[in-house]
Amino acid sequence: MQRKLILYFLFLFPFLAHSQGLITNTFNRNTTTLDGTWNYIVDPYETGYYNYRYEPYDQLKEKNNSAFYNNYHTDNKLELVEYDFDKSPTLLVPRDWNSQDEKLFYYEGTIWYRKSFDYELSNSTNRLFLYFGAANYKAEVYLNGTKLGVHEGGFTPFNFEITSIIQPKDNYLVVKVDDKRIKEGIPTINTDWWNYGGITRDVKLIEEPSTFIQDYEVQLSKGSTNTLSGFVKLNNVTKEEKVTISIPELKISKILAVTADEKVSFEISSKKIQLWSPESPKLYAVYIKTTQETLEDQIGFRTIQTEGPQIMLNNKPIFLRGISIHEENPMRGGRAYNEADALVLLNWAKELGCNYVRLAHYPHNEYMVRMADKMGLMVWEEIPVYWTVDFSNQNTLKNAENQLTEAITRDINRASIIIWSMANETPPSETRNNFLIELVKKTKSLDDTRLVSAALEKHSKDGVNIVDDAIGKYMDIVAFNQYTGWYGGSLEKAPDAKWDIKYNKPVVISEFGGGALQGLHGTINERWTEEYQEYLYQQNLKMIEKIPNISGMSPWILADFRSPKRVLPNIQDGWNRKGLISNNGVKKKAFYTLQNFYKKIKKEYE
Ligand code: GCB
């Protein structure tokens, strides 16, 4: 049978549903992948979504209120006869579309995806969920003619229950993904990275028993090295349920009674916990068990706090030897999306001598943070509140809070994550402060064990570098970006720079750096040469070492990354060249400058 883009769902769900309570730890559940080839239709005018009066089909209230409807509907079905998925080409999922087809390289707009699949529940009382690791930027999801809902935000997961819709044969999943940049979005229109569109992360079906473990947290209590605490949240509790949390290696087994679909807290004491650290990234097998299922996770336990100007990991001062990373595999071009990509990026960071990575400027995929857990890399995780988002817009705030909540919910059990970052280089104002304060409150309400920060900026007066952004008061770490020797400032004088930082808190340089085309050589005064970049690193490192309360850094950036803003012919050609590694995977001279510096710092802290 020829399948068309059938839009009969439009009249069944005349409202916008949203995604439902997030299911976590999908890596260790009973799942079936929907990754692979999906048919697609490029729809720049959104003809599949709006009628000719520019009314969204799925929001039409009256059956006969549009000419389109009168002309084309039969039997509550609306067919766009000019569409045919079966005759359409395919894209790989997960992957951005830009790097899969030259014609889509610069495309920003709507693409319709279609996947057909069969699925039989293994047990008639079981439930089925459809899970997306991420789709950039806005996804509208339809299954067998029913609209499941909408998700906004390109870097966090979402899921929908499909138990009552799934059929054993020929399920017809349609997803509209729209990556148009919008002023009120998170991020907004203007960023310095490629706006990769598409279903960029794994898609899976999750089969669960009727009552199941939706979400949980097992972490050390704030400041304690021997009390584990957290919560378990079951879904669809109809009678009292017994939940057992066990960690066999620690001889821990704790039973909770759960009587409602809400987070039930617990505390467990243990004297023998071996703490997670970069030197020894110990992970424990943790089991959450109900009468209906057992879920395993691999979780590390560590404490992270500040004491005046110091960051304390497991009660010992640490220095964050970091690097900033975009979620991109530069050698392939395109979004990083799997374990192999995570290994490429994080192995480079390890080789550089890092114990810490800043995953900029949005939540990276789950492979990255799970790999960081295993490799012993501490992580700064960020949401894309970048530059000039629409701070006075309440919907924008809700959107940011939602993305933050999804990121924290997905990653709360990852020992590697020590810092939640609220924003990057946002212009100070009362409106912006209020926006960020709300995000800090949200973060602390979801997770009081980690540190909160944001990449701020410095300004200069009478030759003194000043950091006095009022939002610093709400941050556990004062982090700021500075580009001495690239966007102004003298490299010769850098080591003698004066600093006035308002807060007695740990200071982290969240960015510094400069561009170089790998293979281009010259003097230290010639921009874009490897020598210039090397000198820039040498001078910046001399300067940074002397900054009061300095506790770490994440220079900008591990590898060259694509940015439409970077157009200088024969040098940039669409790449931001501040990478220490080229887009061919070749290390530039400055890589070794930083590597040597980190060797020295490591010795000082041992
Ligand atoms: C910054 C931004 C980062 C840019 C970088 C640059 O301050 O935070 O996203 O890519 O500068 O290269 O200019």
Segment 281-331, tens digit of pLDDT: 999 999 999 999 999 999 999 999 999 999 999 999 999 999 999 999 999
Which residue among 188, 190, 191, 192 is best mutated to probe the pocket of ligand 1, counting the most ligand atoms within 8 A of its Cβ? 192
> What atom in ligand 1 is closest to the CA of residue 578?
12
Instruction: Please choose from 323, 327, 453, 481 the residue to mutate so as to test ligand 1's pocket, defined by most ligand atoms within 8 A of CB.
Output: 481
Name the residue among 159, 573, 32 with its Cα closest to residue 330: 573
Average pLDDT of span 345-349: 98
**Is the model's pLDDT at 14 over the cut of 70?**
no
**Which tokens hold the place of 503?**
């807060």
Q: Residue 588 in contact with residue 516, Cβ under 8 Å?
A: yes
Residue 253 pLDDT greater than 80, yes or no: yes
| Ligand 1: residue whose CA is nearest its atom 3 | 192
Confidence of residue 454 (pLDDT cuts 50, 70, 90): very high
Please choose from 511, 554, 571 the residue to mutate so as to test ligand 1's pocket, defined by most ligand atoms within 8 A of CB: 511
Calculate mean pLDDT across residues 355-380.
98
Output the CA 330–ligand 1 centroid distance in Å: 17
Rounded distance from Cα 60 to ligand 1 centre (Å) = 43
pLDDT of 5: 45
| Pocket, ligand 1, Cβ cutoff 6 A | 192, 361, 424-425, 481, 511, 556, 576, 578
Cα 25 from Cα 159, distance rounded (Å)? 13
pLDDT at 82: 75
Closest to 126 in 3D by CA, of 151, 94, 161, 89: 161
Residue 415 scores a pLDDT above 90? yes
What is the number of the ligand 1 atom nearest to the C-alpha of 360? 9
What residue owns the CA closest to ligand 1's atom 10? Answer: 192
CB 234, CB 241: distance < 8 Å: yes
Query: If you measure from the C-alpha of residue 572 to the centroid of ligand 1, how many angstroms do you get, rounded to a whole number?
Result: 15
Is 502's pLDDT higher than 70? yes
> Which residue lies with its CA nearest to atom 13 of ligand 1?
192
pLDDT of residue 385: 98
CA of 481, closest atom in ligand 1: 7
The overall average pLDDT reported for the chain is: 93
Helix (H, G, I), strand (E, B) or coil at 136: strand
Write down the pLDDT at residue 10. Answer: 37
Share of the chain above pLDDT 70, in %: 93
Better-scored residue on pLDDT, 73 or 529: 529
What is residue 311's three-state secondary structure? strand
* d(CA 192, ligand 1 centre) in Å: 6
Please give the number of the atom of ligand 1 that sits closest to the Cα of 361. 9
Q: Which of ligand 1's atoms lies nearest the C-alpha of 515?
A: 12
Give the atom of ligand 1 at the shortest distance from the alpha carbon of 387: 8
pLDDT for 18 beyond 90: no
CA 387 to CA 304: how far, in whole Å?
28
Mean pLDDT value of segment 119-146: 96
pLDDT band at 62 (very low <50, low <70, confident <90, very high): low
Give the separation between CA 586 and CA 520, rounded to whole angstroms.
12
User: What's the pLDDT at 389?
Assistant: 98
- Whether the per-residue pLDDT at 604 is higher than 80: the answer is yes
Give the residue, by CA position, lying nearest to ligand 1 atom 7.
Answer: 481
- Residue 7 confidence (pLDDT): 42
| pLDDT at site 606 | 80
Q: What is the dihedral of CA 306, 310, 314, 318, to 10 degrees?
A: 140
Please, what is the Cα angle at 408 between 405 and 411, to 5 degrees?
145
Task: Let me know how long the chain is.
Answer: 606
> How far does the centroid of ligand 1 lie from the alpha carbon of residue 487, in Å?
10
Closest CA to 92 of 51, 37, 161, 143: 37
Strand 36-42, strand 110-117: pairing: antiparallel
Check residue 11 and give its pLDDT: 34
Q: Per-residue pLDDT for 15 more than 70?
A: no
* DSSP state at residue 530: H
Give the model confidence (pLDDT) of 187-220 as tens digits.
999 999 999 999 999 999 999 999 999 999 999 9
Axis-axis angle for helices 589-605, 339-352 (nearest 10): 70
> What confidence category does residue 80 fall into, taking pLDDT thresholds of 50, 70 and 90?
low
**pLDDT over 80 (residue 578):** yes
- Residue 9, pLDDT > 50, answer no
**Among 73-77, 251-255, 500-504, where is mean pLDDT lowest?**
73-77
Shortest-distance atom of ligand 1 to CA 424:
8
Work out the widest C-alpha separation in the chain, in whole angstroms: 78
pLDDT at 74: 39
Tokens of 199: 């279903």
What would the mean pLDDT of 386-405 be, rounded to a whole number?
98
What local confidence, expressed as pLDDT, does residue 573 receive? Answer: 98
- Give pLDDT, residue 19: 64
Is 66 a residue whose pLDDT tops 60? no
Q: Is the pLDDT of residue 452 over 90?
A: yes
